[in-house]
Structure 1
Amino acid sequence: MLTASIADRQAGRSHPLLSERRNILVIVDEAHRSHYDTLDGYARHLRDALPHATFIAFTGTPISTAEVNTRAIFGDYIDVYDLKRAVDDEATVRVYHEPRIIPVSLPPDIDPDTIDDEVEQLTASLDDGERRKAEAKVATLNTIYGAPDRVETLAKDLVEHWDERRTLMEPQLGGPGKAMLVGATREICVRIFDAIAKLRPDWADPAVDKGKMKIVFHGVPTDDELLRPHHLRPSQLKTVQARAKDPDDELELLIVHSMLLTGYDAPPIHTIYMDRPMRGANLMQALARVNRRFRGKQDGLLVGYAPLTENLRKALTEYSRRDQEDQTLGREIDRAIGEVHNEIAVIEAMLAPAPVKWREILANGQDRTRWVRAVRKVANYLRDPRTPGNTVEPGTKPLHQRFRDSAGRLERFYALCATSRDFVERAGDIQRLRRDITFFRDVRVWIVKEEAADREAKGLPNTAEVERYLAHLAAQVVDAADITDIYEEAGLGRLDITDLNGVALQRLQDSETPHLAVSALRRLIEQKMREVTKHNVVRQERFSALLEDLMGRYMRQQLTSAQLIVELVELAKEVSADARRGQRFDPPLNHAELAFYDAVAQNEAATELMGVGTLADIARELVKSIQSSITVDWFSREPVRAKLRTHIRRLLARYDYPPDHERAAVDLVIRQMETFADEWAPNGQAAKH
Structure 2
Amino acid sequence: MLTDRIDLDDQLYGVFSSSLLLPGEPVRIGSREQLRAELSSRATGGILFTTLQKFGLTKEEREAKSAHSLLSNRLNIIVVVDEAHRGHYDTLDGFALRLREALPKATFLAFTGTPLSEADRDTRKVFGDYIDVYDLTRAVEDGATVRVYHESRLIPLELPPGVDPEAIDTRADEITAGLDEAEQERLRASKTPNLAIEALRRAIEQTMRQATRHNLVRQRSFSDRLVELMNAYRNQHLTAAEILTRLVEMAEEVSTEGDRGRHFTPPLSADELAFYDAVAQNASAVRDLGDDKLAAIARDLVVQVRKSVTTDWTIREDVRARMRTIIKRLLARHGYPPDAAREAIDLVIAQTETFAEDWASGTER
Q: TM-score, normalised by structure 1?
A: 0.29
Q: Retained in 2: the 8 A contact 1:631–1:682?
A: no
1:534 aligns with 2:213: yes
Q: Retained in 2: the 8 A contact 1:554–1:564?
A: yes
In 1, Cα distance between the equivalents of 2:347 and 2:249?
28
Of 487, 501, 510, the residue aligned with 2:172 is 487
CA deviation after TM superposition for structure 1 residue 626, in Å: 1.6
The structure-2 alpha-carbon separation of the partners of 1:552 and 1:654, relative to structure 1 and needing over 3 Å to count, comes to same
Match of 1:591 in 2: 270
Q: Retained in 2: the 8 A contact 1:645–1:666?
A: yes
The structure-2 alpha-carbon separation of the partners of 1:654 and 1:681, relative to structure 1 and needing over 3 Å to count, comes to same
CA deviation after TM superposition for structure 1 residue 450, in Å: 6.4
Match of 1:563 in 2: 242
CA deviation after TM superposition for structure 1 residue 615, in Å: 0.6
CA deviation after TM superposition for structure 1 residue 495, in Å: 3.4
Q: Retained in 1: the 8 A contact 2:187–2:193?
A: yes
The structure-2 alpha-carbon separation of the partners of 1:683 and 1:501, relative to structure 1 and needing over 3 Å to count, comes to closer
Q: How does 1:614-625 map to 2 (within 5 A)?
A: 614-625=293-304
Match of 2:312 in 1: 633
Of 650, 664, 667, the residue aligned with 2:343 is 664
In 2, Cα distance between the equivalents of 1:667 and 1:396?
34
Of 566, 578, 581, the residue aligned with 2:260 is 581
Match of 1:501 in 2: 180
Computed over aligned residues only, the root mean square deviation of the Cα atoms, in angstroms, reads: 2.4
In 2, Cα distance between the equivalents of 1:555 and 1:396?
20
In 1, Cα distance between the equivalents of 2:300 and 2:196?
44
The structure-2 alpha-carbon separation of the partners of 1:622 and 1:512, relative to structure 1 and needing over 3 Å to count, comes to same
Match of 1:215 in 2: none
Match of 1:113 in 2: none
In 1, Cα distance between the equivalents of 2:201 and 2:237?
17
Q: Retained in 2: the 8 A contact 1:630–1:680?
A: yes
Of 319, 331, 335, the residue aligned with 1:652 is 331
Of 638, 654, 673, the residue aligned with 2:352 is 673
In 2, Cα distance between the equivalents of 1:538 and 1:545?
11
Q: TM-score, normalised by structure 2?
A: 0.54
In 2, Cα distance between the equivalents of 1:504 and 1:539?
27
Match of 2:321 in 1: 642
> Which secondary structure state, in structure 2, belongs to the residue aligned with residue 611 of structure 1?
helix
Corresponding pairs, count: 211
The structure-2 alpha-carbon separation of the partners of 1:664 and 1:563, relative to structure 1 and needing over 3 Å to count, comes to same
The structure-2 alpha-carbon separation of the partners of 1:526 and 1:557, relative to structure 1 and needing over 3 Å to count, comes to same
In 1, Cα distance between the equivalents of 2:288 and 2:296?
15
Question: Once structures 1 and 2 are overlaid, which stretch shifts more, 675-684 or 527-536?
Answer: 675-684
The structure-2 alpha-carbon separation of the partners of 1:609 and 1:395, relative to structure 1 and needing over 3 Å to count, comes to same
Q: How does 1:308-457 map to 2 (within 5 A)?
A: 400=159, 446-447=164-165, 449=166, 453=169
In 2, Cα distance between the equivalents of 1:400 and 1:532?
28
1:523 aligns with 2:202: yes
Q: How does 1:74-93 map to 2 (within 5 A)?
A: none
Q: Retained in 1: the 8 A contact 2:261–2:268?
A: yes
The structure-2 alpha-carbon separation of the partners of 1:645 and 1:543, relative to structure 1 and needing over 3 Å to count, comes to same
Q: Retained in 2: the 8 A contact 1:635–1:677?
A: no
CA deviation after TM superposition for structure 1 residue 547, in Å: 0.4
> Which secondary structure state, in structure 1, belongs to the residue aligned with residue 306 of structure 2?
helix
1:542-581 CA-partner distances (Å, limit 9, x unpaired): 1111100010011112222221101101111221232211
Q: Retained in 2: the 8 A contact 1:582–1:591?
A: yes
The structure-2 alpha-carbon separation of the partners of 1:395 and 1:617, relative to structure 1 and needing over 3 Å to count, comes to same
Amino acid aligned to 2:201: R
Dislocated runs of 4+, deviation >6 Å: none
Match of 1:514 in 2: 193
Of 289, 313, 316, the residue aligned with 1:610 is 289
> Which secondary structure state, in structure 2, belongs to the residue aligned with residue 400 of structure 1?
coil
Q: Retained in 1: the 8 A contact 2:171–2:196?
A: no
CA deviation after TM superposition for structure 1 residue 682, in Å: 4.4
Match of 1:549 in 2: 228
1:313-340 CA-partner distances (Å, limit 9, x unpaired): xxxxxxxxxxxxxxxxxxxxxxxxxxxx
Amino acid aligned to 1:652: L
The structure-2 alpha-carbon separation of the partners of 1:679 and 1:506, relative to structure 1 and needing over 3 Å to count, comes to same
> Which secondary structure state, in structure 2, belongs to the residue aligned with residue 535 of structure 1?
coil
CA deviation after TM superposition for structure 1 residue 397, in Å: 5.2
In 2, Cα distance between the equivalents of 1:399 and 1:655?
53
Q: How does 1:231-270 map to 2 (within 5 A)?
A: none
In 2, Cα distance between the equivalents of 1:614 and 1:504?
41
Q: Retained in 1: the 8 A contact 2:308–2:319?
A: no
> Which secondary structure state, in structure 1, belongs to the residue aligned with residue 311 of structure 2?
coil
In 2, Cα distance between the equivalents of 1:450 and 1:641?
47
Q: Retained in 2: the 8 A contact 1:596–1:619?
A: yes
Amino acid aligned to 1:400: L
Amino acid aligned to 2:286: T
In 1, Cα distance between the equivalents of 2:362 and 2:296?
28
CA deviation after TM superposition for structure 1 residue 514, in Å: 1.2
Match of 1:148 in 2: none
CA deviation after TM superposition for structure 1 residue 516, in Å: 1.1
Q: Retained in 2: the 8 A contact 1:535–1:675?
A: yes
1:137-169 CA-partner distances (Å, limit 9, x unpaired): xxxxxxxxxxxxxxxxxxxxxxxxxxxxxxxxx
Q: How does 1:455-466 map to 2 (within 5 A)?
A: none
In 1, Cα distance between the equivalents of 2:176 and 2:159?
29
CA deviation after TM superposition for structure 1 residue 523, in Å: 1.0
Counting aligned pairs with the same residue, the percent is: 47
Structure showing greater radius of gyration is 1
In 2, Cα distance between the equivalents of 1:629 and 1:541?
26
In 2, Cα distance between the equivalents of 1:503 and 1:584?
30
1:453-485 CA-partner distances (Å, limit 9, x unpaired): 5xxxxxxxxxxxxxxxxxxxxxxxxxxxxxxx3
CA deviation after TM superposition for structure 1 residue 670, in Å: 0.3
CA deviation after TM superposition for structure 1 residue 677, in Å: 2.1
Q: Which has the higher contact order (CA 8 A, sep 6+)?
A: 2
Amino acid aligned to 1:487: A
Question: Unaligned stretches of 5+ in structure 2?
Answer: 1-152
In 2, Cα distance between the equivalents of 1:570 and 1:548?
15
